Structure 1
Amino acid sequence: MQLLLIHSDYIEYEVKKSTPVAEEIEDSFKQGRLEEALTAFIAVEKVDEANVQGAISEAVEEIKNVATQVKAESIMVYPYAHLSSDLSSPKAGVAVLKGIEAALSGDFIVKRAPFGWYKAFKISCKGHPLSELSRTIVPDESTGEESSACGEVVKEEVVSEALKAESTAKSYWHVLTPDGELHDASTFDFKGHENLGKFVDYEISKARAVDKAPPHVELMRRLEIADYEPGSDSGNMRYYPKGRLMKSLLENYVLEETSKVGAMEVETPLMYDMNHPTLKKYLDRFPARQYSIESDKRQMFLRFAACFGQFLMNHDMTISYKNLPLKMVEMTRYSFRKEQRGELVGLRRLRAFTMPDMHSLCGDMEGAIDQFGQQYNMCIDVLDKIGIKVDDFEVAIRFTRDFYNENKDFITHLAKTVNKPVLVEMWDTRFFYFVLKFEFNFVDALAKASALSTVQIDVENAERYDINYIDSDGSANRPVILHCSPSGAIERCIYGLLEKEAMKAEKGGVPILPLWLSPTQVRIIPIGDKHMDYAMQIADKLNCRVDIDDREDTVGKKIREAGREWVPYVVVVGDSEVESGTINVTIRAESQPKKPVKVEMSPEELNSRVAAEIEGMPYKGLCLAKLLSQRPKFL
């Protein structure tokens, strides 16, 4: 459960419209007001269903404690779903809210706002140090099983031995500067590298849970890219046509880049036998929580990467030293990880995600290190074309102490390549399957970090899966394996772009997506009906994703709507454009807030400009109707 507690001069609400899950209410319940009140905004979560009474008791205790501290005699219990991405069922939500209301009523004046209604509300926060507080309630569970609201028993999640080891392993944290010096992370001066400082704090504290939604959550909805799917498990999203287009373009781009370096695209199953002897050993070496399911009395798990399928394929192949480095790639739609509830938010951390997963078999460690360096550079280039630059992410390099001592110059070169300090995590003992790993981490507006690109040098799985290659002398040798995700999860790339632009807007810039990823690249706005024919002619001359706003709204409103959708090029056509055969184009990338840059040009000039910007990148046509009047609203 998530609580937001506001000590207020007053709080008042009025219901406006019911949702499909609205509770039935009497007229007297349709509005309410309390003076000098503690307002408890509450989001009841799925975890609360395991112990409803415990959730109520803990919430009541927190609310009472705060009410006592601020000397509030009145409490407003206000359902507020926006505090969480992992909401309980409506039935459980209402039960918890009513339980809190009843438990508080003996000691306070209590009102409860109705559940499942759109409401207008006004609140006046007092503004003292205790007037705004947030709390996360996780009810205790007495066994390794959960009982759901409908009585179903849910088995305890499967947690790998590597994940358990990670939580207890001793990490030595350093900052490596491009000159090769290792500095203690706790004493390093982060002046000029404030973003790295945020990332270091995040990594060392391991504070993964979030207490409010980052900016991209509102943006992914407003731009009709994606949203939570209440009919699925948490962390499984729905993607609207614009989001599906963006994902598809990103997927195609990354696959094209891996093809350029010789990777063969394959496809492997989504589920595997948890008791398969080889897979069972690997499960315990990978730091992830698995989804487990039962099929034909066999315990199965949903893959969290493409490693299993590709390694089993490698085992069955005949591989020569002439084939090395041998590379295979799969765009996993989907990989599954049973991430913890409090960590799930928007597109940042999901339980079902799309990940390009490339594996390279190398003849020896020297070849693996060479490939590691090449793939490090490839990942930089991939993110750059996506729109996430070196300045936008922080680098983490993780290794064993022995590996570092043997390869100091190579690891220092990694810092030199990005020309800035990087975070180092060092272990005395290897407890994963890799000896070296890097990640490029995006730090968002809430100072939470998410890994994008990564490469790892794996020294275990060739033996575990009995993978061999035949050397020049006819002997069978074990390869060294590289794991590479050139972009990281596709959804995280969208998250990174949205968060980056939200932070740019906060600093006074104009947010925009890369042109090749923008669902609409050019929007044409005819001033009146008589200009529609000319608008259609212009659209036919443009070889890009162009749509026409033919709705019965004012031109000003249409222009504002195009701005809210971050449309890169907006073309307004009227009498003068029809007469001259030109177009008036607002160029978003060159504009400032309330200072649009407008350029008069020919349709051919605009076409050339767009073509130059998207050259070399994947392309798809419009994902929605060309005429905006023919489009449905998804939100």
Structure 2
Amino acid sequence: MESRAVKKSTPVTTMSQQEQSAVVVSLPDGSNREFDNPVSVENVAYDIGPGLGEDCVAGIVDSDLVAPEYRIESDANLRIVTPDSDEYVRVLRHSAAHVLAQAVLRQFPNAKLAIGPPTDEGFYYDFDGVELDSDDLAEIEDEMRKIVAEDYDIVREEVPPEEARERLADQPYKLELLSEIEEAGESVTFYRQGEFEDLCAGPHVASTGKIGALSLLEIAGAYWRGDEDEAMLTRVYGTAFDRESELEAFLERKEEAEKRDHRKIGSAMELFSVPDHSPGCVHFHPNGMAIRRELEEFVREKNRELGYEEVKTPELNRAELWKKSGHYEHFKEEGEMFAWEQNGHEYGLKPMNCANHAYLYDHDRRSYRDLPLRFSEFGMCYRNEQSGELSGMLRVRGFTQDDGHAFVRPDQIRDEIARTLAVIREMYAVFGLDVLLKLETKPDDAIGDDALWERAHDALRNALSDEELEYEVAEGEGAFYGPKIAINAEDAIGREWTIGTVQLDFVQPERIGISYVGEDNEEHRPVMIHRALLGSLERFMGVCIEHFAGDFPLWLAPEQVRVLPITDDDAGYAAEIAEEFGDFRVEVDNRDWTLGKKIRAGHDENVPYMVIVGSDEAESGTISVRDRNERQQGDIERSTFRAHLEAEYEEKRRKADFLD
């Protein structure tokens, strides 16, 4: 069963004719359809055309993926999902999760079912009362294929809560979910396929035979509700596709991604660790710190270009600061803020830097001539992520945001956003990351007046349009204080990462009460533009490790040059070379190894350049250079090699070699 924390249909019997009212449904082509009464997604599809009605698998109402039977009771945006839609695979995977549960129950009849939603890469289902290993996975996968081959119709049933409780009498987790559905006043629906049924809101494909290809991937532990105080469940991950060829391509990408896992590479290259005594907080080792320093200086260079002044604000603040800004109610009440009471005051570790920067703005009286005023900070922030969601550097509790806030007049918004986006796009090109822009709009937990949100939405749309930038719209995914442009990046193997962001905020200046004196000598509210160029340094570094597979360009490589003396007698000349090139990150390999073994180690450890020196090089005062592509050339002047290193470092080439 997928999470029920979205809008669901209401039983037709609960609404009288008097309560029904006209509904306007807005379609992707910009047209509207008006209905005298609440209408189902499927009926809207048939109203558009019988072919679309036949093909309707699901609908996206505003931002929610819902079943064809979902009834639209108020004005809404609607997209019809068909087998040709991008969202179809999520429907198919949701059905595959049910097939997994059915297969597990066939082999383990006493298993207790929890939830089984689709994910970006597949699906999972959580079980209690079963202990599984890899041999069990193979048998369950075989059973799943049988269920697909049996091609059971997947039938939706709406039932009274009393009947639902009887059906779920031996399923405690489902009963807990049922109680929440009842409390919310939502309709209770089951989906049945053969002998299996599940409490579920849908949507699903028409039959199990529609699942073209599937594979089970791994077993993990997961707390019920993600709560460490709840029961530990067995989570089985899998994936499913329409075609076998798509599954094969996915498994190949997954194998490549596993080779690039930043946690494995980070450990092998001694870049970072996340020990048990600091859960979700990264320890940077000297090698990792070398990369981080380069990233920080790169950001500083771009901040200077954009006119930002660097500041530093405390990680510890009283809660009153965030109550004014709105962060308290968003983070504290959701359990995401580390907070405590002491000496009659409530304190917390900052989840964001915005309120501190607003304080700095408000420290002096500001004139319209002072704007834009821009503050940047490598600000350490903390969020209480669930332990099961932590993942190396990519999902942490303590992170360093390359944060920045520009305080601007309304007439300065477009230029400020355009300049920021241009710099971000340039930066990502340096890493070889393709940029994808998403306009994320007002979320359900938004604070502030609708009029302020509309101003912010319009300003971001206009800025993107004026710059003729392509973007997607992600409804309801903005920050709680304002819409944003999410800068997603596609890496070397086609994975998409959310990294940087540009956010427009009319709300916090109003709540905090900051102002500037305009040309008319009246007080006016500035607009805050929140922006992160690389985002969290921890997350971006994790992405870089996987993007480059540890084979970093020269400017990022923890060790840029390794000097290899051929014999012990050559150690003195090797030390001379290392000292001469000491403004780069240079090491001398003095281990009692053969030259061949040293060379293999250098390649395995992703050293961009190896300088090989022996008696001939010492006599001539030259060097032999071997690059990462295993090409080698001798009798090279040291000044020639230095000039190349300096140019390659300064130009931040993604991957260059002296012997190209």
TM-score (norm 1): 0.60
Q: 1:540 aligns with which of 579, 599, 606?
A: 579
The aligned residue for residue 372 of structure 1 is: 417
Q: Residue 278 of structure 1 contacts residue 465 of structure 1 at CA under 8 Å; is this kept in 2?
A: no
Structure 1 residues 569-578 or 252-261, which shifts more? Answer: 252-261
Paired residues for 1:13-412 under 5 Å? 58-60=129-131, 133-140=217-224, 146=229, 215-233=261-279, 235-276=280-321, 278-279=323-324, 281-284=326-329, 289-332=336-379, 334-364=380-410, 366-384=411-429, 387-391=430-434, 393-399=435-441, 410-412=463-465
Paired residues for 1:406-445 under 5 Å? 410-414=463-467, 416=469, 422-427=471-476, 432-442=480-490
Q: Residue 325 of structure 2 contacts residue 355 of structure 2 at CA under 8 Å; is this kept in 1?
A: no
Aligned length: 424
1:493: how far off? 2.3
The aligned residue for residue 521 of structure 2 is: 474
In the aligned structure 1, how far is the partner of 2:259 from the partner of 2:512? Answer: 42
1:319: how far off? 0.8
Higher RCO by CA contacts (8 Å cutoff, separation 6 or greater): 1
Counterpart of 1:512, as a letter, is D
1:228: how far off? 1.9
* CA deviation string 1:412-462 (max 9, x = no partner): 35564xxxx5432135x9873214423233458694x43222111111011
Paired residues for 1:437-516 under 5 Å? 437-442=485-490, 447=495, 449-502=496-549, 512-516=551-555
Change in CA separation of 1:443 and 1:131 when aligned onto 2, cut-off 3 Å: closer
1:375: how far off? 0.6
Asked whether 1:602 is paired with 2:618, we answer no
Q: Residue 380 of structure 1 contacts residue 390 of structure 1 at CA under 8 Å; is this kept in 2?
A: no
1:254: how far off? 1.2
In the aligned structure 1, how far is the partner of 2:571 from the partner of 2:478? Answer: 67
SS in 1 for 2:555: helix
1:131: how far off? 9.6
SS in 2 for 1:516: coil
Change in CA separation of 1:516 and 1:62 when aligned onto 2, cut-off 3 Å: closer
Q: Residue 534 of structure 1 contacts residue 578 of structure 1 at CA under 8 Å; is this kept in 2?
A: yes
1:381: how far off? 2.5
In the aligned structure 2, how far is the partner of 1:317 from the partner of 1:599? Answer: 63
Change in CA separation of 1:545 and 1:263 when aligned onto 2, cut-off 3 Å: same
> What runs of 5+ residues in structure 2 fail to find an aligned partner?
1-106, 108-125, 144-212, 233-245, 251-256, 443-452, 653-660
In the aligned structure 1, how far is the partner of 2:494 from the partner of 2:341? Answer: 38
Change in CA separation of 1:327 and 1:580 when aligned onto 2, cut-off 3 Å: same
In the aligned structure 2, how far is the partner of 1:407 from the partner of 1:225? Answer: 38
* CA deviation string 1:72-101 (max 9, x = no partner): 9xxxxxxxxxxxxxxxxxxxxxxxxxxxxx
* CA deviation string 1:224-260 (max 9, x = no partner): 1012211122x11221111122212222331232133
Q: Residue 486 of structure 2 contacts residue 499 of structure 2 at CA under 8 Å; is this kept in 1?
A: no
Q: Residue 213 of structure 1 contacts residue 345 of structure 1 at CA under 8 Å; is this kept in 2?
A: no
In the aligned structure 1, how far is the partner of 2:641 from the partner of 2:612? Answer: 13
In the aligned structure 2, how far is the partner of 1:564 from the partner of 1:350? Answer: 29
1:66: how far off? 5.7
In the aligned structure 1, how far is the partner of 2:578 from the partner of 2:228? Answer: 59
Q: Residue 326 of structure 2 contacts residue 508 of structure 2 at CA under 8 Å; is this kept in 1?
A: no
In the aligned structure 2, how far is the partner of 1:430 from the partner of 1:499? Answer: 27
In the aligned structure 1, how far is the partner of 2:561 from the partner of 2:138? Answer: 54
The higher radius of gyration belongs to 2
The aligned residue for residue 655 of structure 2 is: none
1:354: how far off? 1.1
1:293: how far off? 3.0
Q: Residue 58 of structure 1 contacts residue 137 of structure 1 at CA under 8 Å; is this kept in 2?
A: no
SS in 2 for 1:396: strand
In the aligned structure 1, how far is the partner of 2:588 from the partner of 2:458? Answer: 61
Counterpart of 2:229, as a letter, is E
Q: Residue 442 of structure 1 contacts residue 451 of structure 1 at CA under 8 Å; is this kept in 2?
A: no
Change in CA separation of 1:294 and 1:256 when aligned onto 2, cut-off 3 Å: farther
1:356: how far off? 1.3
In the aligned structure 2, how far is the partner of 1:453 from the partner of 1:311? Answer: 21
Q: CA RMSD in A?
A: 3.7
The aligned residue for residue 602 of structure 2 is: 562
The aligned residue for residue 646 of structure 2 is: 611
Counterpart of 1:326, as a letter, is L
* CA deviation string 1:366-396 (max 9, x = no partner): 3112101111112122334xx42352x4322
1:70: how far off? 8.6
Q: Residue 541 of structure 1 contacts residue 604 of structure 1 at CA under 8 Å; is this kept in 2?
A: no
Change in CA separation of 1:614 and 1:319 when aligned onto 2, cut-off 3 Å: same
Q: Residue 215 of structure 1 contacts residue 445 of structure 1 at CA under 8 Å; is this kept in 2?
A: no
Counterpart of 1:388, as a letter, is F
Counterpart of 2:571, as a letter, is M
Structure 1 residues 525-534 or 297-306, which shifts more? Answer: 297-306
Asked whether 1:553 is paired with 2:593, we answer yes
* CA deviation string 1:149-177 (max 9, x = no partner): 9xxxxxxxxxxxxxxxxxxxxxxxxxxxx
* CA deviation string 1:103-143 (max 9, x = no partner): xxxxxxxxxxxxxxxxxxxxxxxxxx99965234434479x
In the aligned structure 2, how far is the partner of 1:516 from the partner of 1:330? Answer: 23
1:62: how far off? 8.7
SS in 2 for 1:512: coil
